[in-house]
Structure 1
Amino acid sequence: MYFALLAIGTIIVVASCEETSETYSEFTKDGEIIYVGTPDTVIVAPGFEKLKFSIVINADPKISGGVLQTKDKSFNHEFDVERQSNGNDTISFIVNLDEGEYNFDVLLKDDSGNTSIPREVTTVVYGTKYQNALLSRSISAIKAFETHAVLTWGDVPNGSISTSISYEDANGAMQTIEVSNDISETTLSSYKLGGSIIVKSIYAPRSNAIDVFSSISETVFPEQFQINHTNITALRMPFDASDGCYGSSYERLTDGATGEFWHSCDSVEDQYPFVMSFDIGVAANLSGFRLDKRSECCGGRSPASYQIWATNEIVGAETMDIDADGDENNVSIAHWEADAISKGWVKLVEVTDNTQETFEVLIPENSTNYRYVRLVAISSINGEITANFDELTFMATAVD
Structure 2
Amino acid sequence: MKTFTRISLVTLLAIMVILGCDKKDTAFRDYLGGKEVIYAGLPSNVSYFAGYLRTQLYWNPSPDQTIAKYVIYWNNKADSILVNATTHKPSDTMRVMISNLKEYSYAFTIYSIDGQGNRSIPLEINNVKVYGPIYKAGLLNRPYNADNPSKVNDDGTVTLNFNKADTINITTVIEYTNTSDVVVKKNIDSSQYSLILSDLKPGTSVKYYSSYIPFVGSLDTVFTNEASTFPEIKKYVECDKSLWAELQMPNDAQTLGTAYGPETRLNRIWDGDWSEGGRDFWGSHIFHSNQAHLPAQLSFDLGKDYNELGRIAEMGRSCCATATAFEVWGISTNDINAAATSKPSTDAGWADEMRSKGWTLLKDVVRTDNGQAIATFDLIKNPPPVRYIRLRVKAVADGSSGDFQIAEVGFWNMVQF
Q: What is the TM-score normalised by the length of structure 1?
A: 0.59
2:389 is matched with 376
- Decide which of 304, 309, 324 is 1:289's aligned counterpart: 309
* Contact 1:138–1:153 (CA under 8 A) maintained in structure 2: yes
Compared CA separation, residues 219 and 17, structure 1 to 2 (3 A): same
* 2:299 counterpart of 1:274: yes
Output the CA distance in 2 between the equivalents of 1:328 and 1:84. 94
* Contact 1:286–1:397 (CA under 8 A) maintained in structure 2: no
1:197 is matched with 206
* Contact 2:109–2:125 (CA under 8 A) maintained in structure 1: yes
Shift of 1:100: 1.4
**Given residue 210 of structure 1, which amino acid in structure 2 is its aligned partner?**
L
**Given residue 331 of structure 2, which amino acid in structure 1 is its aligned partner?**
S
Shift of 1:286: 7.2
* Contact 2:307–2:383 (CA under 8 A) maintained in structure 1: no
- Decide which of 53, 57, 81 is 1:78's aligned counterpart: 81
1:156 is matched with 165
Q: Classify the secondary structure of the residue corresponding to 2:94.
A: strand
* 2:151 counterpart of 1:143: yes
Output the CA distance in 2 between the equivalents of 1:392 and 1:30. 101
- Decide which of 329, 334, 359 is 1:303's aligned counterpart: 329
* Contact 1:168–1:191 (CA under 8 A) maintained in structure 2: yes
Q: Classify the secondary structure of the residue corresponding to 1:135.
A: coil
* 2:229 counterpart of 1:219: yes
Output the CA distance in 2 between the equivalents of 1:398 and 1:222. 7
Q: Classify the secondary structure of the residue corresponding to 2:21.
A: helix
What are the superposed Cα offsets for residues 26-73 of structure 1, whole Å, 9 maximum, x if unpaired? 555422543322220223123321112223221113323333234x61
2:94 is matched with 91
Output the CA distance in 1 between the equivalents of 2:294 and 2:64. 97
2:383 is matched with 360
**Given residue 274 of structure 1, which amino acid in structure 2 is its aligned partner?**
S
Output the CA distance in 2 between the equivalents of 1:163 and 1:241. 50
How many residues are aligned here? 298
**Given residue 299 of structure 2, which amino acid in structure 1 is its aligned partner?**
F
Output the CA distance in 2 between the equivalents of 1:166 and 1:18. 83
2:107 is matched with 103
* Contact 2:310–2:414 (CA under 8 A) maintained in structure 1: no
Output the CA distance in 1 between the equivalents of 2:130 and 2:111. 20
Question: What are the within-5 Å matches in structure 2 for residues 378-393 of structure 1?
Answer: none
Q: Classify the secondary structure of the residue corresponding to 2:383.
A: strand
Q: Classify the secondary structure of the residue corresponding to 1:21.
A: helix
1:298 is matched with none
Root-mean-square deviation (CA, aligned residues, Å) is: 4.6
Shift of 1:19: 1.8
Q: Classify the secondary structure of the residue corresponding to 1:139.
A: coil
Q: What residue ranges of structure 1 are gaps of 5+ in the alignment?
A: 230-235, 244-265, 278-284, 293-300, 309-321, 330-351, 364-373, 380-390
Shift of 1:178: 2.3
* Contact 1:144–1:221 (CA under 8 A) maintained in structure 2: no
Output the CA distance in 2 between the equivalents of 1:117 and 1:398. 66
What are the superposed Cα offsets for residues 125-166 of structure 1, whole Å, 9 maximum, x if unpaired? 111222222122222212235623221111212311122212
**Percent identity over the alignment?**
16
* 2:59 counterpart of 1:59: no
**Given residue 383 of structure 2, which amino acid in structure 1 is its aligned partner?**
E
What are the superposed Cα offsets for residues 167-226 of structure 1, whole Å, 9 maximum, x if unpaired? 223454333322122221223333234312121322222333332211252325636411
**Given residue 19 of structure 2, which amino acid in structure 1 is its aligned partner?**
E
**Given residue 309 of structure 2, which amino acid in structure 1 is its aligned partner?**
F
Shift of 1:239: 4.9
Output the CA distance in 2 between the equivalents of 1:224 and 1:61. 70
